[in-house]
Amino acid sequence: MPSPRAQMPAPHRRYVIRTMAFMTGYVAINILAMSGAFDEIIGRPIAWALALSVAAPVIGQIWATLALMHESDEFVRAITAKTFIVATGLTMAVASVWGFGEEYADASHISAWLIYPVFWACYGLVAPFIRSSR
């Protein structure tokens, strides 16, 4: 019986490698920042550099997903795109509800960077239900 890795199509294998690379950087930078590694050197320009360095893997992950769609066959491309679009809409709905809750109902403020994990949570929630390219 062939190993699961041997059965994985090349675009998916590249996607997994890219995702692991980007998320390793993302997690490492965040762990260092949360542990206070940058506290002594943080000034306004360096703080922006830190913010950009944490955002770069997020941008890379989005690129990795778009590259997966580009490199995959028509069916996988359609399913991935549809899932991406539905998850984006759901994320915007959640963000809008919470934003208006902050504005009108005195809900606690939530940092904007949480949109990224909310998006992937929504993606994970809707992916099992999207099985058709229609």
Q: Mean pLDDT per segment of 10 residues, for the chain of length 134 residues?
A: 72 95 93 84 79 93 95 94 97 97 96 94 97 83
Nearest-angstrom CA–CA distance, 65 and 77: 10
Confidence at residue 78, expressed as pLDDT on a 0 to 100 scale: 94
5 and 40, same domain (yes or no): yes
pLDDT at 6 (0 to 100): 65
What is the model's pLDDT at position 2? 62
Query: Does the predicted TM-score (pTM) go above 0.85?
Result: no
* Same structural domain, 81 and 113: yes
78 phi, psi to nearest 5 deg: -65, -45
Q: Which of 55, 72, 89 is the last residue of a domain?
A: 72
Query: What was the pLDDT predicted at 3?
Result: 64
pLDDT value, residue 10: 93
Asked if 32 and 78 sit in the same domain, the reply is no
**Same domain, yes or no: 66 and 79:** no
